[in-house]
Amino acid sequence: MSIIKVENLSKQFGAVKAINNVSIEVEEGTIFGFLGPNGAGKSTTINILCTLLSPTSGKATIAGYDCIRDSSMVRKAIGIVFQDPTLDKELTAYENMMLHAYLYNVKRSEIKDRIHDALRFVDLYERKDDVVKKFSGGMKRRLEVARGLIHRPRILFLDEPTLGLDPQSRANLWDFITELPAKHKVTVFMTTHYMDEAEVCDRISIIDNGSIIATGTPDELKKTVGGDVIYIKTSDNDKAKTEIQELFDIDVSEKNDELFLTTLRGDSCIPEIIKTIGEKVLSVRLQRPTLNDVFIKMTGKQIRDEEVSSTYTMKEDIRAYRRRFDRG
């Protein structure tokens, strides 16, 4: 069953189209990744889904409720970790959790236990009475995820959850996020612009300049870039080259004393290659396409060179528009 359903959603800020005809479906209990460079329209989409923005046209339903008409039912069904921290730094971890528990109308008799459980889950129980401004970036993020789960939402939105974290905290957070669907029966909808992090997703949509340009599982998407590359070092490159070419009937090239060939099933080709030219092989390595390769192929640009891309100026335009028109 699709727990999130977005149909032809568009949002315009003045003359700028932030998103254009976006359609998404997310199955219950999965991790969905929404990828794209900064300014591509990820946050706009999330803001519409969590009822902070109304779309110019199109439809979005969450857990069967319309994001525009039934906004309060939608709000009950979702938990959100925004890109920018939304914790009250002057309050303790426990008080921040409590603020949320009351806002989400959690039964008073359950509040304390739920907060303690959630804090244990994110390893912050010992720090529960510390003021949040003393926390590191990673701890704040974990606290926010715990807070997002306090009212047992059916869907958890994570907008760039690892932005600004060091590699170790990032890895910890991912371990933790991948456990969420099983442990908390929650569907995860996350955005990121770190392509390697999206590997953990069950399904992915890539958005660029406000439109969705590809959707599928990480493997499906990676297949679209043409398969695996096998690199082989041998004691006699010329001879090995002809032998492999005869074996698979494909072109083998040579670069830096290394042979390489592109194939769809890299892992099963390697044993055959070794059988044929076994005694000459010095080393073999297999390089699989990454989601970053997918992105480059789809958009013709690196995901991180946004400073020079048009999407950057689009974001600026939206900001300028917001400064002028939306005060509330």
Partner 1 sequence: MIEANAVYVLVLRELIKFFRAKSRLITTLARPLIWLFLIGGGMSRLVSPGIGVDYMQFIFPGILGMTILFSSIFSAISIIWDKEFGLMKGILVAPVSRFSIVIGKALSGTIVSALQAVIILLLFPFLGIKLSLMSFLYVIVICLLLSFAISTLGIVIATFYESFESFSVIMNFIVMPMFFLSGAMYPVNKLPVILKVISQINPLTYGVDALKHAMLKGSDLIDFSVATDIAVLVFCSVVFTVTAGIIFERKK
Binding site for partner 1 (CB under 8 A): 50-54, 72-73, 75-76, 78, 80, 82, 84-91, 95, 98-100, 102-105, 322-323, 325-328
Q: How far is the CB of 168 from partner 1 (least distance, A)?
A: 25
Whose structure tokens read 């990480």?
Answer: 218
Q: Which is nearer to partner 1, 239 or 322 (CB)?
A: 322
Cβ–Cβ under 8 Å, residues 115 and 95? no
- Smallest gap from Cβ 24 to partner 1, in A, equals 19
Question: Residue 187 CB, nearest distance to partner 1 (Å)?
Answer: 17
Nearer to partner 1 by Cβ, of 17 and 203: the residue is 17
Q: Please identify, using beta-carbon distances, which residue of 136 and 242 lies nearer to partner 1.
A: 136
Q: At what angle do helices 137-149 and 93-103 cross, to 10 degrees?
A: 30
Nearer to partner 1, 62 or 261 (CB): 62
- Distance CA(269)–CA(230), nearest Å, equals 9
Minimum CB distance to partner 1, residue 177 (Å)? 19
DSSP 247-299: HH-S--EEETTEEEEEES-HHHHHHHHHHHHGGGEEEEEEEPPPHHHHHHHHH
* Alpha helical stretches, state H, the chain: 42-49, 71-77, 93-103, 108-121, 137-149, 167-184, 218-223, 237-248, 266-277, 291-299, 310-325
Residue 236, CB half-sphere, CA atoms under 13 Å: how many?
Answer: 9
The backbone torsions φ and ψ at residue 153, rounded to the nearest 5 degrees and listed phi first, read -75, 160
DSSP structure class, residue 131: B
Instruction: CB nearer to partner 1: give 68 or 286.
Output: 68
Rounded alpha-carbon distances, angstroms, from residue 232 to 247, 255, 267, 283, 289 = 15, 10, 13, 6, 17
* Cβ closest to partner 1, residue 64 vs residue 325: 325
Is 100 or 315 the residue whose CB approaches partner 1 more closely? 100
Minimum CB–partner distance for residue 231 and partner 1 (Å): 46
Closest by Cα among 199, 267, 280 to 236: 280
Task: Report the nearest approach of partner 1 to the CB of residue 160 (Å).
Answer: 13
Closer of 21 and 92 to partner 1 (Cβ): 92
Tell me how long the chain is.
328
300 contacts: CB under 8 Å, gap ≥ 6:
none
- Closer to partner 1 at the Cβ: 37 or 153? 153
Q: Are strands 281-287 and 228-234 parallel, antiparallel or unpaired?
A: antiparallel
Query: Tokens 């236990």 identify what position?
Result: 113
Min CB(62)–partner 1 separation in Å:
12
Q: How far is the CB of 111 from partner 1 (least distance, A)?
A: 10
What is the C-alpha separation between 206 and 295, in angstroms, rounded? Answer: 8
Closest CB 53 distance from partner 1, rounded Å: 5
